[in-house]
């Protein structure tokens, strides 16, 4: 290793850089390389003399396609200049022969060397070409970086399957060739949730080895059984399961070892507080070196973080399931009306508790009239859902008492919002649909501050019904509301929806409405259920943070 000034690495950093099991280099405040270790020379395929004194960003930092990364968008450069500790993955360095090296990295401020401002530590995402038969043990710094990365990755999702996927990609191929996760379900059954291994540098899932597992024997001394009972971690191998099996779990473990070719494995419990919730198994089949006690301690740390993440994800999913059931019971079934087809959809906010203030309703007013409505109570939580249920039920009552015009029922609801219903802000569209003798229908509606209904003709053109658009509910209960009417020709579709279908941070309301109108035009000839599903899939903004309700009413096509 050399330095720009003297041709030798300064004594105060030589020992540390040389001791690291990963590639490492230091840079000054301008980002110029001041020193690098032997491991970095081998990984980069560059001699120290060709690197020291060069701008690290210009010389090394590349995109995955080999392009120079803009300085303002380079995570490595920005982290070094910010003088804060940061880490990441999926960055690329250019090697001396022009090939690219995909790396995990850690950048931290450096105060120990003359002229050095930051220390960058890195190692390949796929270290297989560099192993030459033996896996280099992780340094202490690399272990700390892995644990920090594990915490960040696993606690940033509340989905069980995503948590397991992230765990597998954290440990493969960095620590092992195989990863297996066995989970204990809420019904105390064991499920082999994940079996994955590294093949040609990529993680492959082996679904044929996944599935239900036998019950865990209470007294079995075998490694997996002990881990699933939360008793102990084990360094083990296929030899542990070669004798007569003491349980069906042991039979499954022998099958796993035979199928995977693992010669060394470590099995650690995954805990939820004091209760076991599964086991993590890592195995080596391609690399010859066995796991050690140091690996066991590291895997126990990773398993503890995994248990915390899985417990949070399971709790969140239980809450979502309960809330989803509640929402289903709050929202009604569509009535069967001769000459009309109706379908409705509700999608919860992606990061909410699965209930919210968006709602739809449809009910028979009389022999010749059907009421349809869509509304939105601000919020997507239990309070909004309670307000939504109050408002929907009261609207039904007022619509029955005042069936002559939609505006009359909404005026009464205005009074209720100010004196009875505990709702801070709400909007809705209420419409009456009446069939005519020629096969068409007349729709009469009033709009209380809600996005306008969309009328889609049978042959495709779609337009918004912008008349009768009045104030939000509860703002001024002294003002009279207006009504508007239009004929729905045979085969046409009326779409009522909430603003989650057209509005998000990433687009204007006008853009969202135009997107919805365009897709509705394109889908006009589809069957109603397919029309509604595709309209949701195509029109809902990708970064939508709100729940969505859609009610589509289609007039039967003419038989002529």
Query: Is residue 314 located within the same domain as residue 348?
Result: no
Query: Is residue 92 located within the same domain as residue 25?
Result: yes
Query: Is residue 491 located within the same domain as residue 350?
Result: yes
Tokens of 550: 């859609």
Which residue, of 319, 347, 373, is where some domain finishes?
319
Query: Is residue 308 located within the same domain as residue 387?
Result: no
* Strand order across the beta sheet in which 100-109 lies: 33-36, 23-27, 118-124, 100-109, 86-94, 61-62
Identify the band that residue 7 occupies on the pLDDT scale cut at 50, 70 and 90: very low
Q: Check which CATH number belongs to the domain holding 30 and give it.
A: 3.30.450.20
In a domain? residue 44: yes
pLDDT 10s digits, 159-192: 888 999 999 998 998 889 999 999 998 788 999 9
In a domain? residue 75: yes
Which residue, of 125, 157, 184, is where some domain finishes?
125
Tokens of 182: 């066995």
The Cα 358–Cα 349 span in angstroms is: 10
In a domain? residue 268: yes
Return the DSSP state at 55. Answer: B
Query: Is residue 534 located within the same domain as residue 387?
Result: yes
In a domain? residue 326: no
pLDDT 10s digits, 478-511: 889 999 999 999 999 999 999 989 988 777 889 9
pTM listed for this prediction: 0.51
Which pLDDT score is estimated for 409?
95
Query: Is residue 306 located within the same domain as residue 388?
Result: no
Which residue, of 319, 344, 363, is where some domain finishes?
319
Residue scoring higher pLDDT (191 or 273): 191
The Cα 377–Cα 380 span in angstroms is: 8
What value does the mean pLDDT of the chain take?
Answer: 85
Identify the band that residue 134 occupies on the pLDDT scale cut at 50, 70 and 90: very low
Which pLDDT score is estimated for 33?
92
The Cα 269–Cα 233 span in angstroms is: 6
From first CA to last CA, the distance across the chain in angstroms is: 88
Query: Is residue 303 located within the same domain as residue 366?
Result: no
Sequential DSSP letters for 347-413: E--TTS-S--SEEEEEEEEETTEEEEEEEEES-SSHHHHHHHHHHHHHHHHHHHH--S-HHHHHHHH
In a domain? residue 77: yes
In a domain? residue 51: yes
The Cα 121–Cα 64 span in angstroms is: 19
In a domain? residue 112: yes
Percent of the chain with pLDDT over 70: 86
Least confident of 12-21, 42-51, 136-145, 385-394: 12-21
Which pLDDT score is estimated for 380?
54
Cβ(254)–Cβ(213) below 8 Å:
no
Query: Is residue 111 located within the same domain as residue 166?
Result: no
Long-range contacts formed by 97-106: CB under 8 A, 24+ apart: 97/45, 98/66, 99/45, 100/62, 100/64, 100/66, 101/43, 101/44, 102/64, 102/126, 103/23, 104/145, 104/149, 104/174, 105/76, 106/141, 106/142, 106/145
Query: Is residue 413 located within the same domain as residue 463?
Result: yes
Q: Check which CATH number belongs to the domain holding 177 and give it.
A: 3.30.450.40
Query: Is residue 161 located within the same domain as residue 182?
Result: yes
Query: Is residue 251 located within the same domain as residue 373?
Result: no
Which pLDDT score is estimated for 218?
87
Its domain, for residue 500, covers 332-555
In a domain? residue 63: yes
Number of domains the chain contains = 3
Residue scoring higher pLDDT (218 or 280): 280
Residue scoring higher pLDDT (319 or 511): 511
Phi, psi values for residue 486, rounded to 5°: -155, 155
Query: Is residue 86 located within the same domain as residue 159?
Result: no
50 pLDDT more than 70: yes
Which pLDDT score is estimated for 284?
94
Mean pLDDT of 227-241: 91
> Which residue matches tokens 């949701």?
536
């Amino acid at each position: 290793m050399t330095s720009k000034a003297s041709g030798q690495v300064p004594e105060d950093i030589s020992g540390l850089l040389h001791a690291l099991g990963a590639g490492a280099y230091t840079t000054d405040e301008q980002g110029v390389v001041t020193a690098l270790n032997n491991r970095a020379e081998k990984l980069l395929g560059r001699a120290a003399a060709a690197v020291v004194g060069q701008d690290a960003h210009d010389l090394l930092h590349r995109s995955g396609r080999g392009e120079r990364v803009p300085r303002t968008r380079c995570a490595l450069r920005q982290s070094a200049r910010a003088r804060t500790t940061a880490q990441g993955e999926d960055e690329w360095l250019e090697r001396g022969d022009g090939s690219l090296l995909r790396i995990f990295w850690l950048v931290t401020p450096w105060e120990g060397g003359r002229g050095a401002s930051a220390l960058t530590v890195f190692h390949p995402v796929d270290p297989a070409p560099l192993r030459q038969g033996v896996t280099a043990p992780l340094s202490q710094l690399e272990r700390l970086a892995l644990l920090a990365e594990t915490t960040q990755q696993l606690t940033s999702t509340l989905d069980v399957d995503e948590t397991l996927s992230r765990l597998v990609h954290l440990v493969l191929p960095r620590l092992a060739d195989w990863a297996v996760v066995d989970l204990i379900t809420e019904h105390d059954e064991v499920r082999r949730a994940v079996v994955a291994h590294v093949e040609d540098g990529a993680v492959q899932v082996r679904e044929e080895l996944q599935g239900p597992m036998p019950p865990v024997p209470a007294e079995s001394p075998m490694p997996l059984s002990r881990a699933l009972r939360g008793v102990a971690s084990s360094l083990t191998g296929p030899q542990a399961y070669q004798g007569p099996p003491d349980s069906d779990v042991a039979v499954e473990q022998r099958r796993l070892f035979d199928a995977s070719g693992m010669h060394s494995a470590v099995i650690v419990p995954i805990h939820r507080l004091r209760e076991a919730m599964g086991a993590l198994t890592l195995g080596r089949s391609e690399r010859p070196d066995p796991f050690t006690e140091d690996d066991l301690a590291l895997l126990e740390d990773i398993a503890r973080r995994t248990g915390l993440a899985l417990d949070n994800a399971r709790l969140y999913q239980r809450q979502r399931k309960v809330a989803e059931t509640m929402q289903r019971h709050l929202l009604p079934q569509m009535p069967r009306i001769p000459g009309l087809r109706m379908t409705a959809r509700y999608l919860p906010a992606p990061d909410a508790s699965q209930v919210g203030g968006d709602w739809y309703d449809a009910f028979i007013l009389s022999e010749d009239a059907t009421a349809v409505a869509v509304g939105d109570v601000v919020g997507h939580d239990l309070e909004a859902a309670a307000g939504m249920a109050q408002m929907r039920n009261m609207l039904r009552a007022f619509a029955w008492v005042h069936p002559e015009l939609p505006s009359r029922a909404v005026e009464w609801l205005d009074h209720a919002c100010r004196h009875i219903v505990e709702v801070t802000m709400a909007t809705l569209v209420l419409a009456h649909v009446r069939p005519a003798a020629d096969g068409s229908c007349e729709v009469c509606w009033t709009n209380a501050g809600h996005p306008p209904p969309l009328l889609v003709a049978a042959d495709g053109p779609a337009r918004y019904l912008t008349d009768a658009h009045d104030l939000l509910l509860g703002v001024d209960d002294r003002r009279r509301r207006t009504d508007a009417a239009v004929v729905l020709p045979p085969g046409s579709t009326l779409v009522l929806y909430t603003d989650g279908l057209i509005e998000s941070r990433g687009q204007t309301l006008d853009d969202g409405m135009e997107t919805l109108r365009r897709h509705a035009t394109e889908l006009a000839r589809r069957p109603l259920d397919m029309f509604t599903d595709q309209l949701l899939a195509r029109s809902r903004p990708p970064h939508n943070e709100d729940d969505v309700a859609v009610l589509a009413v289609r007039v039967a096509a003419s038989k002529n």
